Amino acid sequence: MKFYDLHLHSAFSEGISSIEQLASTAKHLGYSAICFAEYFKNLDQIKKLSKEIEKVRQKVGMEISLGFEARNVKELAKLANIRRKFDVLLVRGGDLKLNRLACETPEVDILTHPEYERFDSGLNHVLVKEAARNNVAIEVNFREILITSKNSRSRVLHNIAQNLGLAQKYHAPIILCSGAISHFELRSPECLISMVNQLGLELNDAKEAITKVPEKILSQAKGRKGENFVMPGVKVIK
């Protein structure tokens, strides 16, 4: 069974640890592939990061992908326009308008922590139905739980559990990520599976959230870079 973590931040974005530190630790913990979520600046940045990732990929010996996380509507529009130049498109959740736009955009792969810094869960049945229709994965972010305590943690856990219930009811994909910004924040796949299982996700579904769902996202990323790809749901058949 292959385990994936598609939401890590290195020192190139808001992270603390280097790409190599995070990749080495992830491999030691049992992950087969990871993805670094960076913040877009320009096309030269993509080339620079791709070269750095390739060096680490060869040194560590694991699959490493490049993703970009949109933090606002303007960034999302830019990234959607150059979607084929990188692997995974994430959208930073929390803002209700951005949550909605992410769920409505087929180019988006992952809506990260939709409940971030909110008193509610950030989602409702309308948005989750859109996420299911556009195949946008709803993220359970371990770091959001890790860095909170007492009443704040209780609220976060409640909101995540509510979003899990909505995603299951309306068949939206669920993805489990660490959201780590340091290699010290990484946890084993089994730890993350156990955590989300305690929040109400069946064990098989919890395993799929860190195996099959991210695997499908990376498979779609490879297909998107193919010469026959036109747009989501459309490709040239020869």
Mean pLDDT of the chain: 94
Band (pLDDT 50/70/90 cuts) for residue 237 is: low
Q: Which of 68-72, 121-125, 226-230 has the lowest mean pLDDT?
A: 226-230
Tens digits of residue pLDDT in 44-84: 999 999 999 999 999 999 999 999 999 999 999 999 999 99
| Integer Cα distance of 189 and 176 in angstroms | 9
All structural domains of the chain, each given as residue ranges with its CATH number in brackets, are 4-235 (3.20.20.140)
Angle in degrees, 0-180, between the axes of helices 43-56 and 19-29, rounded to the nearest 10: 50
Average pLDDT over residues 154-183: 97
Residues 64/57, Cβ–Cβ less than 8 Å: yes
Query: Would you say residue 123 has pLDDT above 60?
Result: yes
| pLDDT for residue 25 is more than 80 | yes
- pLDDT given for residue 178 in this prediction: 97
In the structure, what pLDDT confidence band is assigned to residue 108 with cuts at 50, 70 and 90? very high
pLDDT band at 225 (very low <50, low <70, confident <90, very high): confident
DSSP 76-89: HHHHHHTGGGSSEE
Higher pLDDT: 150 or 66? It is: 66
Confidence of residue 233 (pLDDT cuts 50, 70, 90): low
| pLDDT band per the 50, 70, 90 thresholds, residue 229 | low
Q: From start to end of 79-173, where are the E strands?
A: 88-92, 110-112, 137-141
pLDDT of 144 higher than 60: yes
pLDDT value of position 187: 96
**Average pLDDT of span 93-113:** 97
140 DSSP β-pair partners: 176
Confidence of residue 173 (pLDDT cuts 50, 70, 90): very high
* pLDDT at residue 33 greater than cutoff 90: yes
